[in-house]
Structure 1
């Protein structure tokens, strides 16, 4: 899946000369948490968050304290330079950027101009959709040797039962590169006949591990 498929295209932006008070009003009006700062060519030169503004704004308990701060330009509190992604980047690559840089938002740019924005909430929602967990389904985890052809073998058994597969994930078994876990979300609320068949064919089903089924 590409970034352009999940990004928000209606992006609220400000320029460096806008005030912190203007940024605060924009956050409150549109219920957003991040504002990219752009130049006259719509190139991203900085970004500010609601936390940046909270840290800069005067305390509500002391109304006369540093009120002038709200009139300062946003360039005094913005983060720069800014990490950006391209609309044709894969969301897996973007997820790695979120994790490695511990950020909560990335502007999306094309030809050095802002065209969208993605937040950690957008990314998390997308990943939830990709797992198929939002659908009525069951999850099965099967441990297999890490060799070619194992996934088709397992999915063949599922296909023979005319069961649709919502999603598939594969990861190493406890760090052992010789074993893999195939995680399948299938569109049936009664996976027990399938689990029984998988076990009868010699597969180790880790989840659900239901007592009484064939070993």
Structure 2
């Protein structure tokens, strides 16, 4: 799935000379947590979060200084430089950026121009879609030898039942690197016939372990 398929195209922005008070108003008005800061050519030069604005805002008990602090320019608290992604990047790659850099939002740019934004909430929903957990389905985990061509062999078994596959994930089998786990979500609430087919073909089904069908 590409970034351009999941990004928000309508983005609230500010220029660097606008005030912290303006940012605070926009964050509250639009119920957002991040605002990209752009120059006159719409290039991203910084970003501010609701936490940045909150930390920069005076305490409610400091009424004398409150007005002055809120009139400071937003560039005084923005984060710069900014990590950005391209519309044609893969969503899975963006997820690793969120994790590795411990950030909650990335602007999307094309030719250095802001064209969209992705938040951690967008990313989480996308991962839900990619794993197929947003539709009624059953999950089957199969332990297989880690060798080329094993995936089509396993999915061929699913094809015999003509069940619709929602998603397929593959991850290592930690106890033994000679094996891996294939996780298949199928659109049926009764996976038992498919499990029986897999077992009859010699595959070890780790999940679900149906009563009376332990490996």
Give the alignment's TM-score, normalised by structure 1.
0.96
1:150, CA displacement in angstroms? Answer: 1.3
1:59, CA displacement in angstroms? Answer: 1.9
Q: Within 5 A, what are the aligned runs for 1:29-108?
A: 29-108=29-108
Distance 1:11 1:175 in 2: 46
Distance 2:112 2:176 in 1: 43
Say which SS state the counterpart of residue 177 (structure 2) adopts. Answer: strand
Distance 2:92 2:213 in 1: 37
1:157, CA displacement in angstroms? Answer: 1.0
Contact in 2 for aligned 1:199/1:214 (Cα 8 Å): no
1:209, CA displacement in angstroms? Answer: 1.1
1:8, CA displacement in angstroms? Answer: 0.5
Say which SS state the counterpart of residue 193 (structure 2) adopts. Answer: helix
Matched, 1:9 2:9: yes
Deviations 1:65-105 (A, max 9, x none): 54311000000000000000011111111111111111000
Say which SS state the counterpart of residue 159 (structure 1) adopts. Answer: helix
Q: Give unmatched runs, 5+ long, in structure 2.
A: none
Q: CA RMSD in A?
A: 1.2
1:55, CA displacement in angstroms? Answer: 0.4
Say which SS state the counterpart of residue 15 (structure 1) adopts. Answer: coil
Match of 2:128 in 1: 128
User: Structure 1 residues 112, 200: CA separation in 2 closer, same or farther (over 3 Å shift)?
Assistant: same
Say which SS state the counterpart of residue 202 (structure 2) adopts. Answer: coil
Distance 1:163 1:140 in 2: 13
Say which SS state the counterpart of residue 79 (structure 1) adopts. Answer: coil
Give the alignment's TM-score, normalised by structure 2.
0.96
Match of 1:116 in 2: 116
With 16-25 and 55-64 compared, the bigger mean Cα shift is at 55-64
User: Structure 1 residues 70, 146: CA separation in 2 closer, same or farther (over 3 Å shift)?
Assistant: same
Deviations 1:12-55 (A, max 9, x none): 00000000000001111111100000000000000000000010
Contact in 2 for aligned 1:169/1:183 (Cα 8 Å): yes
Q: Tell me the matched-pair count.
A: 215
Deviations 1:169-190 (A, max 9, x none): 0011016331110000001100
1:199, CA displacement in angstroms? Answer: 1.4
Runs of 4+, deviation exceeding 6 Å? none
